[in-house]
Amino acid sequence: MHPVPSLCVGPYSGRRKFVQGLAAGGALAMLGYWPGRLLAETSSIPELHGSDFNLEIAPAVVNYTGKPRLATAINGSVPAPVLRWRQGDRVTLSVTNRLNVTSSIHWHGIILPSGMDGVPGLSFDGIPPHSTFIYEFWVQQAGTYWYHSHSRFQEQTGMYGAIVIEASDPEPFSYDRDYVVMLSDWTDEDPMKVFSNLKKDSDYYNYQRRTLADIRQDIRETGFAQTRRDRRMWNQMRMSDRDVSDVSGETYTFLINGLTPVANWTAPFSRGERVRLRFINGSAMTYFDVRIPGLEMTVVAADGQNIEPVTIDEFRIAVAETFDVIVAPQADQAYTLFAQAIDRSGYARGTLTPDPALTAEVPDLDPAPRLGHLDMAMGPMEQGAMSHAVAEDDQVSGAAVTDHAGMDHAAAAIVTHDRSERGPGVAMRAESPQSKLDDPGIGLRDRPWRVLRYADLRHLGPSPDPREPEREVELHLTGNMERYMWSFDGVQFSLAGPIQARYNERLLITLVNDTMMNHPIHLHGMWSEVETGDDSQLPRKHTVNVQPGQKISFRVTTNALGRWAFHCHLLYHMEAGMFRVVEVEP
């Protein structure tokens, strides 16, 4: 199965100088990609309300960079329409596929029967070309979620949209206005070409690599000997300390609700109003750091679930996560909603304003962050030894390697690296993984303002299942950036068996990130309750971000029978093999 083809034949030359939302020329309507429909940038996304929905998947023409391209639209919209449901309703969604390839819709974070989950080859066969599939299920939850294709690269080509579920009971907070803020990344390239480029050269889109000037600066700051040691270390690992994102702003245009920074999505407010912003990261590959200069934000929900309110100035949102925040502007002025990519190669931008004629200054991008020892999960005694680096010619001996290392600076733990982690798909191993619950992450550690951390998240009210875990499943997030291979425990999906669980079992899933990249890990069909230190109020998430060199655990109540996808939500990582199946049996 292939994605909707792009019209481009290569990277758009000079695209960063021409990122603006131009409507495609009228002649394109004659191409017939959508009957009488040509997508232009508008200030809002269509919304559909109720319990019965008709959705059509079809190609459409969009223009984000000055050149028309094909996208995968739902009901002629990119992003797809916002679906507004009510908790307790039974929704019916009739989805017709007008593409010439199989498609699908996955309802991200929604608790439903496995046959309705929308993963081709796992929970159903997919939606064949020019046919209709009917999804039907009870809405058991409230909050902010989203939906997207789970078929090859269609999500990258625009097939994603927001879900807003009205609660059956009064909400524990009040607000006067309610906006969806869908963050995403768009490329003019065919996603298959992007994936091919990464397989050939993992640094293909990294335009922030070191130069001779950087080396000279390092020598001035740390001396020649230390600079030489650092360069030798990185060279032996075949990695770059600026390898923060696989795909950057060199090909991506970053969007808010389908609008470029120049088009500037705008949301009106009146002074003194409380405004709810439902942030959804619908990107294929991009983490965003979000702030609104001049406004503090109160986070009231994470991944659709209410939390004890936390007031902050900035938050990082991993791919597939959602955060609901409330802001209360007290002045008749505009405020910039600034969402910069984690590698600082670009940004998405919107404006909150009492007057459409008013805008606010857009902050400068921060300097590109550098990976360091903390991101390598190296203990203080290991930093010169590089015991984490794995040579490609390592010989396997014994069933497993057990390393005694520090879970964090206060406690010791045992980290087991299985035999499977000694293959060509594993370029490094974390020997001293840290909990990092108090760590906001690379590029955010030295902020002079408040930044959201996982340690700040507490479920509003007691955890629904107070049982202690009966069994632990430890998985290592592994990869070889040089070969662009990604996996769990060094085993790609095609060679891996399912993770088996009994119905209503209380599992503890522990993830150890042996790589130097963030990975947003998504378990379908069940909640992931992150162990943040307070067992009575574990935050419930559908996507758990795992930082480089981090060890993090979450509890799962396996109360959903069937076969469920469990994968990294970085689209090209999932495609490269970081995917497993969780099988829940009676």
Given phi > 0 = left and psi -120 to 50 = alpha, else beta, which region is 11? beta
* Percentage of the residues of the chain whose pLDDT score is greater than 90: 73
454/426: higher pLDDT: 454
Whose CA is closest to 92, among 37, 35, 50, 145? 50
The CA-to-CA distance between both ends of the chain, in Å, stands at 33
Calpha distance 493→474 (Å, rounded): 16
Predicted pLDDT of residue 416: 77
Predicted pLDDT of residue 389: 38
Calpha distance 285→108 (Å, rounded): 16
Predicted pLDDT of residue 32: 32
Residues 544-575: tens digit of each pLDDT: 999 999 999 999 999 999 999 999 999 999 99
Over 60: is that where the pLDDT of 390 sits?
A: no
| 57: Cβ contacts below 8 Å, ≥ 6 apart | 72, 73, 74, 95, 96, 97, 98, 99, 103, 105, 127, 149, 159
Predicted pLDDT of residue 211: 59
Predicted pLDDT of residue 422: 80
Predicted pLDDT of residue 424: 82
Predicted pLDDT of residue 202: 82
Question: In CATH, which superfamily holds the domain spanning 372-441+453-586?
Answer: Cupredoxins -  blue copper proteins (2.60.40.420)
Over 80: is that where the pLDDT of 34 sits?
A: no
Whose CA is closest to 488, among 403, 563, 405, 423? 423
Whole-number average pLDDT of the chain = 85
Q: Which two tokens stand for residue 153?
A: 């690269």
Answer yes or no: are the C-beta atoms of 348 and 323 closer than 8 Å: no
Predicted pLDDT of residue 476: 97
Predicted pLDDT of residue 123: 87
Q: Hey, which CATH number is domain 15-177, 3.40.50.1970, 1.10.530.10, 2.60.40.420, 3.40.50.300? A: 2.60.40.420
Q: Is 329 exposed, middle or buried (0-12, 13-18, 19+ CB in 10 A)?
A: buried
DSSP string, 258-314: TB-TTT-EEEE--TT--EEEEEEE--SS--EEEEBTTB-EEEEEETTEEEEEEEESE
Task: Give the relative orientation of helices 212-222 and 224-237 as an angle to the nearest 10 degrees.
Answer: 130
Query: Nearest 5°: phi and psi at 196?
Result: -65, -40
Predicted pLDDT of residue 428: 84
416/279: higher pLDDT: 279
Answer yes or no: are the C-beta atoms of 183 and 348 closer than 8 Å: yes
Mean pLDDT of 17-44: 36
pTM greater than 0.75 (yes/no): yes
Answer yes or no: are the C-beta atoms of 114 and 583 closer than 8 Å: no
Strand partners, 475: 511
Most confident of 234-238, 242-246, 263-267: 263-267
Q: Domain-by-domain residue ranges, the chain?
A: 15-177, 372-441+453-586
Over 50: is that where the pLDDT of 379 sits?
A: no
Strand partners, 553: 510
Mean pLDDT of 393-406: 32
DSSP H helices, 139-282, are 191-200, 212-222, 224-237
Element (H, E) at 573: helix 571-576
Mean pLDDT of 344-359: 97
Q: Which two tokens stand for residue 500?
A: 């088996």
236/171: higher pLDDT: 171
Residues 124-142: tens digit of each pLDDT: 999 999 999 999 999 999 9
Whose CA is closest to 249, among 189, 205, 312, 284? 205
8/196: higher pLDDT: 196
Predicted pLDDT of residue 372: 76
CB atoms within 10 A of CB 152: 22
Over 90: is that where the pLDDT of 6 sits?
A: no
DSSP 246: S
Most confident of 16-20, 191-195, 493-497: 191-195
Q: Could you check whether 15-177 and 372-441+453-586 share the same CATH topology?
A: yes
* Percentage of the residues of the chain whose pLDDT score is greater than 70: 81
329/402: higher pLDDT: 329
362/232: higher pLDDT: 362
